[in-house]
Each structure stands twice: as C-alpha cells, then as structure tokens.
Amino acid sequence: MSSLSRFTSVLIGALLSIALLSAEYWLLLDDDRSHEQQKERHWGELGSELLANRLQEMLDRTDLLAQSIIRQRHTTGNAPNLTELAQGVLRDESRFGGIGIIRKITPEQRSAFESGIANSIRLLKDRHLVTSPSLPMYYPVESYLPDDGNALPQGLDLGSLDNARRKMDQARNRNQPMLMFTILPGAALPRMDIIANLNDDGRMLLINLRSDLLLQGSAAATQDSPNPLQHVRLLGWSQDNPNVAVLDSHPLQAAPSGMPLMTMRRTIGGADLLFAAYPLDDTSPALSNQGYVILGVTALALLLLLTLLQKQIASGGGLRLLLRKQQQQLEMNNRALRDQITDRANSEQALAESEARQRAILQASSDAIVLINRNGLITQVNPAAAKLIGQTAESIEHLPVGSLLAELYSLTPGLNFEAIANKRAGRPFEAHLLRSDNIQMPVELSLSRVDMPDDSFYVAVCRDITQRKEQEAALIRLKNSLAEQVEVQSRQLSALLEASPMAMAYIVDRTLRQVNRAFLDLFERTEEEVIGQSTLPYFESKEQYERTGRALYSLLNDGKVVQTEVRLRTGHGKYMWCRLFGRAVNPSVPKLGTIWIYQDFSAQREMEDALRQAKILAEETSRAKTEFLANMSHELRTPMHAILGFTEMGQSRARQLQDEKLDQYFDRINSSGNRLLQLLNDLLDLAKMEVGKMDYHIAPNDLTQCLRDACDEMTPVAARSQIKIYLYCTPEQLTADIDAFRLGQVIRNLLSNAIKFSPPGEVIRVTARLQQRADSPGEEVLISVEDAGPGIPADEIESIFGKFIQSSTTKTGAGGTGLGLAICREIIQAHQGAIQAENISPRGAAFTATFPRRQDRVNQEDSGHDAQAAAR
C-alpha cells in the first residue's frame, strides 16, 4: 500500500475516533444531566410531601387547640383568655405567627359588638381602614396577638377579603379547621391562616402560619437525611387564586420561567393546593470525574487500535503478492475438479434424494416405525421406535422381530416369518412390545408389505396404547363402581323413605311413582291404591288441582324449593291442612320428576284460628278499657277542678284569718289535688294516644323559644334544690316542624325527672343541635337532657319507657306514676322520631330525642294516628 493510502486510513481512523469520543462525551453528559434532574425531582417530591405534612400537622394542632377551648368553655363557662393561649402557642420555634378570635356578627349584634371592643367594624379600602357599610353578616376580628406589624386590626371584617367569608362558613358548617389564603393590600405574599369553629356564640379561632418556618429545614436534618427544600425551589398555588403563589421557598429569586421538575396536587384543610418544584439554577451540569475517566480509557483504546492497524497494513503488503500467485494456480486446479464433481453429483443426486425422503419420513414420524426384511430381521428403526423400546437404534438392528413382538413369532415348525406377516398385514391389531426393562407394553401394530424391483420388505408401525388401555380399565372399574353405588344409594333412599317420619313421595307428571310408609298412613291408603295413580283424588276439586299445579311447577322448573299450604283429602274422605315442600330432581330435565314432603298441620291451623279469635276479643276488650279510661279521666277532672278551686279559696280565707294551721291543711290538699290532676291529665293523654284521638299541630316553630320557655318554667322548681339548668342551642335560632305545646310537655317531663334525681348543687344540661340523618337525606334535630343523678340500671334502660313502669331508683323515694316517659315516647314518635336513655360517666343519665327537622305535609296531618299505630 502506498504512503497516501496509509495517511488516508490514519486520517479516517482519527476522525472516527474523534466522532466516537464526542458521541460518548455527549451521552455521558446527558446521563449525568438526567441523573441530576431525577435527583432534583426526588427532592421536589420529598419537599412537597414534607410541606403537605407540616400543613396537615398545623391543622391538627389547631383542631386540638379549638377542642380544648370548647371543653374549657363548657366546663368553666368563661371565654378563652387570648393572652394565655398566645403564651402557649406563639413561641420562637413555633410555626404559628399569630392567634386571634373572629366572631360572626349579625346587623342586630353590631352595635353591642362595637361597644364591647370600643371600635367600629371596618374594612380595607385603598390600603386604609374605613367603617364597614351595612351588610347582612360580618366576620370582624375580636382580638389578635401579638400586636406587631403582621397583626390584624381589631374590628377588621375578614368577610370582605377575597373568599374568606366562604372559608369561614365552611369551617362552621363542616366543624373542622380550614386553610384560608387572603391577600392584604401592600403585602408581598398572601396571608396564610387556619380558621376553626369554636361552636360558641359564633366565635372562630384564627391561627396565622409563618411560611418562612414552614419552608425551613428541621433541626434533625443531617448529612444522611438533609432538608429537601435546600436542593430545589418549591412553590405552592391555591386553586382559588392560581395566579399568585402562596408558598415560595426562595421568595427573593425571580419567578421561574421553565417547566417544573414535578407537580403534586393535594387537598389540605378544604383548599386544593398545587405544589411545583423548580431547579435552583439553570446552569448545565458538567461532566463528572467518572465520565472523564471513561473518556480517557476509550481514547487510549482507540489509539492502540490505530497503532495495530498501521502495523498490519505494513506487514500485509508482501503477503498479498504471494497470495495472488497461489490463487491463480488454485483457480486452474479447481476448474478441472469442478468438471469431475459435476458428473459425479448428477449421478448421486437421484440416490441421495430417495434416501433423504426415506430418512426424513422415518426421522419425522411420531409413530414407532420398524423396517423388517423377509427373514424377520430388523434392518432399520426410527428414533421414535428406539425411544419406545428403550434401546439405541444400532443395538436393535439385525435382531429378530419376534424377540420384541411375540405376536410375530410362531412355535409351529415350518411356519416362517413371511407366512405370519402375510396373515397380519393390511389391518391393525393389538400386540405386546417387550421393552428393554422387560415390561410388556400394549401397542397397536400395523404391518405392511413393500415390494421393490429386486427385493421386498415389511414396515411395522407401532403406537403406544398404554394410556388407552388404562382408560378402558378405569372406565370398566368406574362402571362397576357406579353400578354398585347406584344400588347402594337406591337401597339407602328406600330405607330413608321408609324410616322418615315425614310423608314423602316421588312424583313424575303428577303421577305417584314411589311413596313411604308415612305417606300411606297420612292419607289412609294402601300402596296398590297409590303407586301409578294421579294426584287428583287428593285435592278438594279439579279447579284446586289445576291452580296448584300452575302455581308450583313453574317455580320447580326454575330449580327452586317451593313451599305451600293446601287442604287435601285422605282415602276415607277426611280433609286436612298440609304443608307441602317440593323440589325438582333436575330442573333442566322435568321428566325426571319431583320429590315432595307432606306435613299435617291441621291442629296448628285450628290453634291459630283460636288464637286469632282470642286476639280480636282481646283487642276489643282493650279498646273498651281505653275508652272507659278516657271517659272516666275526663269526668274526674271536672270535680277535681272544683276541689282545687275551693282549696284556693280556703287558702285565701285562711291567710286573711292568719290561721297557719288551716293554711297548711289547705296547702297539702292543694298539693295532693294538683298531683292527682297531673295523674288524670297523663291518663287522659295516654288514653287519647291509645285510641288515636290525640291531636297534633305540627308546623314550623321556633324550637329554641320552646326549649327556653320549658327551662324558664322549671327553673324555680330546680332552684328549690339549688340546681341550675343550662340551655345550649346550635345554631342559636333553631327552627323545626314541631308541635310546640306537646314538645314542651316532653321537655318538662324530662326536666322534672332530672330535678328529682339530681343532688342539690348540681347542673342539668339541655342541648339542641342539628345533624345529618344517617338513614335518609336531610337534617334532624337532636335534643338531650343530662342530669347528675345515680343513673339507670343497665337492665332497665329500655323498660322505663313502658306504661306504668318505674325505674328501681324511682321506687326508692323519687315518686312518680310511670306515665311520663311513655307519654314522651308517644309524642316523639308522633314527630317521626325516637327517644332513648343512656348512662354517662362518671354519674348521671342522658335522655336523647331525635326527629326530622322538616316533615312531609301528609305525615304532619296523620302524625297522631301513625304514632298510635306504631305503639300498638
């Protein structure tokens, strides 16, 4: 090769090496860049999860703080001390930046609220506080700490800022802390607060969050577990204002312009937040040290290859000349040999093709093929035959075929193999192949004779039928076993039918095919009168026979177990009531018939009829008793009012005469008469309820006023025992569809019982609130009366609501007739509700009534009748 060719090869090799090194450099650089982006994306995911967990932690801590304030309010009755709360919440390391109280104020409450804070309700307008105009509702700041540059001014109406009103309404309605973002004029970032309902006079707890501390690394961050927010820039947006970032881990940097590394959407505190992570800088990563090492090794390898290439080029020039001369000589020799080979190939091609076809057939066949000469010696076997016999093909060849297949061997002198083969040829027959392990294998053998121009031979095709033989034997055993099982089951079924005390029958096409002894005894017939006969004579009439068949057999064909009660006739003409149970043997094959069981329940039917008549008589007696009780209660009240009237006149006259003894007598008569009148009123109400004559006037009413009137009426009675009654309504103005008079009667009865059982100096709590119904849409009212008495025995919690039933604790000295709670239950049920009792810890009992807030007009008109029907 010339020097120019060598230079060209070196130049091409160098250019290729440079191209390879460049491509490898960019691949390594791209791999490092991808690895770095993946690591930053991982930091972004960890940072987003960390920030979401911190926000949820702040919400949980706010919820716990609100619950503790509510419990303190219910225990002490005092409003929360914001200074004490701020000392416990606002610490240097705390993520809380401020704490305040927000109140929900109506226009009627505005004047009192402004007098209480010595300031007016204001709103921000052009970065100045101005007096708020008249609005339907206000959410002003009642107090806020600390009083620094981030503090909310007292009296500021937060309801006028962005969507703050909606967030505060959600916090009150859902009764859970909500995350709220508000933009104050002049602020760089939106303000981030948590609002929580305190369930007390419209107050709400406001907690300000410090975004700088939320985005700081924890004190426990180490080199093994660093802060993910130090590696990426994390931004957060609220769905309510997607144009302004509410969180930024690097607020001093310019807004990112590229695509984020990752995004994550989370719902926290009722706010839909979108977190996005961006790289801290846009500089492209440099190649790592490992990449430079790989490039160096590659460059060294390419240099060595170029050097070896030049040496081979230099040493190969002389060899090429010598090889060219030898190649010319070889071409001349090959030309002569090619002519000779062509002649020989043409002559051998025909023979090779024939042998190849025969060999391919033998090799490819899945059946065992054995070639046998006229003397009965094996000349060739295919791989399938060698595998079947368990020996190699070379060891089988030249063996007598009779040594492997006994059916092709004869002990008769003078009978050679050809005579045996000619009898067997042309039709398959079963034989036994002797394997190398001395096992006789059953095979199906097909023997064919092949005649050639100069000779003839036999082809034997063997198929292993071991599995078929085993299946045939298994089928024979299964047939014998099934026959035996059928015989055993037939005997068992016959024995079961005869031993069963229930009357049983096997019916095909409504014809009796088999019955047991109990059937014959039940219907008073003999076996000759039953077997093979129709079931029509057992029915009262043909119409009943056909009607029963139409009703039952459609269900039987569906594979169902049917049951019915029908009146049947015995062989002696006697009628009886039978309960029938039937099932089809095979619903898909109706001709297989059905199995029926007959049960005589005539005595039970007569007893049920007697009980039904007794029930009607008892109900009529109870109705007469109830009407008599209602009439007598009404008649007794007239003289009782006269007695009470004359008693009051006697008391007035005794006071005028200053006769204390006579005044004391009249007072006792008046007290006993009032108790008796109350008993008569209860009896009259109970009688009206039982006969369904109690009138209810259910309409939209002020439930809060109804409860307040009942509590005010019972307060003087409670004051005699130094007992206080507290009323809690949520919301304050609670309206519902009620009968105010009857519901007031329920509250008075419950308060009267609570006063009887509570020791002096205790507190009785009456609570009313709205809640979602569990069984249907809509709201329901829950009213609870809690006392501090000894409680109710566990086995009497349900029975105390019965008529004339008293608790064992009542019988010990508290008195009562046992009608109050029964009347309460009737009235609550008329409101489509329920009342129940339970013990509370550490002592005392609670009576809770629930009923729908809104009722259908039809139900309101018929509520009294529905309540009585439910009671009965």
Q: Would you give the DSSP letter of residue 175?
A: T
pLDDT over threshold 50, residue 745: yes
Under DSSP, the state recorded for 516 is -
DSSP reduced 3-state for 347: helix
* Residue found by looking up tokens 């929900």 in the block: 104
Question: Among all chains, which residue has been given the structure tokens 């009748």?
Answer: 865
Stretch among 448-452, 581-585, 617-621 having the lowest mean pLDDT: 617-621
φ, ψ of residue 779 to 5 degrees: the values are: -105, 155
- For the residues 192-197, what does the mean pLDDT come to? 90
> Residues 377-385: contacts with CB within 8 Å, 24+ apart?
377/401, 378/404, 379/457, 385/462
How far apart CA 273 and CA 192 sit, in angstroms, is 12
What tokens were used for 546? 């056909």
Cis peptide before 146 (omega within 30 of 0): yes
Query: How open is the CA angle 161-166-168, to the nearest 5 degrees?
Result: 90
| Secondary structure element (H or E) that encloses residue 42, with its range | helix 3-76
Q: Torsion angle, CA of 246/248/254/258, rounded to 10 degrees? A: -90
In contact, 795 and 807? CB cutoff 8 Å: no
Determine how many CB atoms are found less than 10 A away from the CB of residue 142. 19
Task: Find where tokens 């090779």 sit.
Answer: 352
Which of 132-136, 223-227, 535-539, 586-590 shows the lowest per-residue confidence on average (mean pLDDT)? 223-227
With a cut of 50, say whether residue 861 has pLDDT above it. no
Q: What are the pLDDT digits (tens) for 228-286?
A: 777 788 888 888 777 788 888 777 777 787 788 788 888 888 888 888 888 876 555 66
Residue with more model confidence, 440 or 499: 440
Residue 585: pLDDT band (50, 70, 90) is: confident
For 108-119, how does the pLDDT look when each residue is reduced to its tens digit (9 = 90+)? 988 888 888 888
319's CB contacts (< 8 A; 6+ apart) are: none
Q: Mind listing the pLDDT tens digit for each residue in 779-819?
A: 999 999 999 888 888 788 887 887 666 666 654 444 455 67
Q: How far apart are CA 231 and CA 280, in angstroms?
A: 7
Assess contact for 733 and 704: CB atoms under 8 A. yes
> With contact defined as beta carbons under 8 Å apart, do 586 and 592 qualify?
yes
- For residue 848, pLDDT over 90 is answered with yes
Confidence of residue 638 (pLDDT cuts 50, 70, 90): low
C-alpha distance from residue 853 to each of 244, 553, 698, 740 (Å): 43, 51, 11, 13
Alpha carbon 84 to its chain centroid, in Å, reads 45
Model confidence at 605: pLDDT above 80: yes
Whether the per-residue pLDDT at 686 is higher than 70: the answer is no
Q: Does residue 11 have a pLDDT over 50?
A: yes
Token couple for 234: 């994390």
Peptide bond preceding 731: is omega within 30 degrees of 0, i.e. cis? yes
DSSP 3-state helix, strand, coil percentages of the chain (rounded to 5)? 50, 25, 25
In sequence order, what are the residues at sequence separation of 6 or more whose Cβ sits closer than 8 angstroms to the Cβ of residue 527?
515, 520
Higher pLDDT, 335 or 829: 829
pLDDT for 850:
93
Q: 667 Cβ partners below 8 Å, 6+ apart?
A: 651
Which stretch of 60-64, 222-226, 262-266 has the lowest confidence by average pLDDT? 222-226
Report the DSSP beta bridge partners of residue 378: 372
Give the bridge partners for 462, in sequence order.
368, 445
**Joined tokens for residue 837:** 């009792």
pLDDT band at 132 (very low <50, low <70, confident <90, very high): confident
The DSSP bridge pattern shows strands 378-381 and 368-372 to be antiparallel
Residue percentage of the chain with pLDDT more than 70: 85
Give the C-alpha separation, 444 to 577, whole Å. 69
Q: Which two tokens stand for residue 41?
A: 């994306």
Lowest mean pLDDT among 18-32, 61-75, 202-216, 449-463: 18-32
Q: How sure is the predictor about 866, in pLDDT bands with cuts at 50, 70 and 90? A: very low
| Phi, psi of 510, deg, nearest 5 | 60, 30
What average pLDDT does range 383-397 have in this prediction?
83
Arithmetic mean of pLDDT over the chain: 80
Contacts of residue 513, defined as CB under 8 A and 6 or more positions apart, other chains included, come to 506, 507, 531, 532, 593
Work out the number of other CB atoms within 10 angstroms of the CB of residue 700: 12
Angle at 435 between CA 433 and CA 436, to 5 degrees: 155
Compute the Cα dihedral for 482, 486, 492, 493 and give only its sign.
positive
How confident is the model at residue 869, as a pLDDT?
Answer: 39
Residue 613, pLDDT > 60, answer yes
pLDDT at 590 over 70: yes
- For residue 692, the model assigns a pLDDT of 62
Strand, coil or helix: 151? coil
If phi > 0 it is left, if psi is from -120 to 50 it is alpha, else beta; for residue 270 that is left
Of 619, 623, 558, whose CA–CA distance to 594 is shortest? 558
pLDDT of residue 354: 63
